[in-house]
Amino acid sequence: MTKQWQEITHNIKAIYGNKDIVLLHEPTFSETEIEYVTDCIRTGWVSSVGKYVDEFEKRLAEYTGVKRAVAVVNGTAALHIALKIAGVQANDEVFMPALTFIATANAVSYLQALPHFVDVTEQTMGIDPVKLEEHIREIGEINNGHLINKWTGRIIRAIVPMHTFGHPVDIDALIDICKRYNLVLVEDAAESLGSYYKGKHTGGFGLVGALSFNGNKIMTTGGGGAILTNDEQLADYAKYITTTAKIPHRWEYRHDEIGFNYRMPNINAALGCAQIEKMNDFLTEKRQLTQKYQTLFEQIDGVDLFIEPTFGTSNYWLQTIILDLDKHNRDDVLDVLNKNGTMARPIWTPMDELIPYMDCPKGDLSVTYELNKRVINIPSTPIRVGKSTHE
């Protein structure tokens, strides 16, 4: 097996121009980013006020097809505020996949609510709507218009689907569940900028959605995130509480509730304005990389490339392989790839296995546990980038 994966490492490096080390996902910049950021510095408007913040929010809303976007400091902050303005309260429970990045669970915890972990499908690695409904029928009851967890007595307030590695989850089925059980849909679209479900951009299906622009995302603002919504009042409120809930005044500092210092700095938004101009190129190059990986792995027995579902279009943010455990051991593969200069990572540890979340409510997570043993992310930077700039 070692020799086979050494050869795979060699082939991956060839895709990237035979670099000595191929990282998992690098940001890609050009002169446009330098121009916009330099303009921001020269004007002196580098913090939370400036023209680039407003412009970036406008471009994001247009790109994703929602009415409003509110830029914030990171994707976790975006999800935190999205859940807050969606009405999640202390001691509520919130359905989410057990197979997700910890930020999804942390954002719920910031509101003193509890994650309620549910299983995923192998097709999307996102919430399995069939198993979710079976779980609800087992543990839930409607009381005074709320879904109540009979085992804990707590209100289950919302569902947070996450579009894993950019692959859209089956949103229509989850919307139907929300309607039947009076749940709020809050999309964790942190990984899925540029992904579409049945022709509509992810992040715009629920009451609110959240994006991330971390340095390893398909486009970046360095750090950063955004709240998406079609509700103008919610957008105004999100913007208000992410800027410390300061009452507008020419000079006085008055605040009428606890707010958050979550506003995206202007200098980060300047970077975002340049990056979003290249989104179509990034998406094209991601698909070109996918095609190369399909050619590579179709020749390897016991390895499947994770491909977008039939109902969606993925941004292919992180390229992902799924191993047949009878033929390949995940940790052995990770060891060979990384030792030979090809960065690879396992999928996240299931949330219920992490110390802060071991006692949270959960359903059957058999698919989550199985995928955890089999999934590996491999280098995913757009393939035209064999250097540090984007032509």
pLDDT, tens digit (0-9, with 9 covering 90-100), for 169-197 = 999 999 999 999 999 999 999 999 999 99
Averaged pLDDT, 95-108: 98
Residue 389 has pLDDT above 70, yes or no: no
Residue 386 has pLDDT above 50, yes or no: no
Q: Which residues are known catalytic residues? A: 217
Residue 388 has pLDDT above 90, yes or no: no
Averaged pLDDT, 150-156: 97
Residue 390 has pLDDT above 90, yes or no: no
Tally DSSP H helices, then E strands, for the chain: 12, 16
pTM of the model: 0.95
**Whole-number Å distance between alpha carbons of 201 and 287:** 17
pLDDT digits (tens, 9 = 90+) for 196-243: 999 999 999 999 999 999 999 999 999 999 999 999 999 999 999 999
- Does the domain at 31-276 match CATH 1.25.10.10? Answer given as no
Averaged pLDDT, 11-34: 94
Intervals of CATH 3.90.1150.10 along the chain: 2-28+279-378
Query: Phi first, then psi: what are they for 24, rounded to 5°?
Result: -65, -50
Angular region, 261: left φ>0, alpha ψ -120 to 50, beta rest = beta
Q: Helices 129-139 and 171-181 sit at what angle, rounded to 10 degrees?
A: 20
Question: Over the chain, what is the mean pLDDT?
Answer: 95
* pLDDT bracket for residue 1 (50, 70, 90): confident
Contact assessment for residue 245 and residue 259, using Cβ atoms and an 8 Å cutoff = yes
**Whole-number Å distance between alpha carbons of 340 and 103:** 31
Averaged pLDDT, 265-278: 97
Q: Which of 327, 349, 323, 345 is nearest to 335 (CA)?
A: 345
Averaged pLDDT, 367-378: 98
Residue 94 has pLDDT above 80, yes or no: yes
**Whole-number Å distance between alpha carbons of 222 and 161:** 25
Averaged pLDDT, 98-118: 98
CATH classification number, 2-28+279-378, choose in 3.90.1150.10, 3.40.50.300, 3.40.50.1000, 3.40.50.11780: 3.90.1150.10
Contact assessment for residue 324 and residue 1, using Cβ atoms and an 8 Å cutoff = no
**Whole-number Å distance between alpha carbons of 73 and 75:** 7
For tokens 């023209």, the residue is 51
Q: What is the pLDDT of residue 319?
A: 98
Residue 48 has pLDDT above 80, yes or no: no
Determine how many CB atoms are found less than 10 A away from the CB of residue 388: 10
Contact assessment for residue 77 and residue 242, using Cβ atoms and an 8 Å cutoff = yes
Residue 260 has pLDDT above 50, yes or no: yes
Averaged pLDDT, 145-160: 97
Q: What is the pLDDT of residue 284?
A: 96
AA identity, residue 60: L
Intervals of CATH 3.40.640.10 along the chain: 31-276
Query: Phi first, then psi: what are they for 34, rounded to 5°?
Result: -65, -40
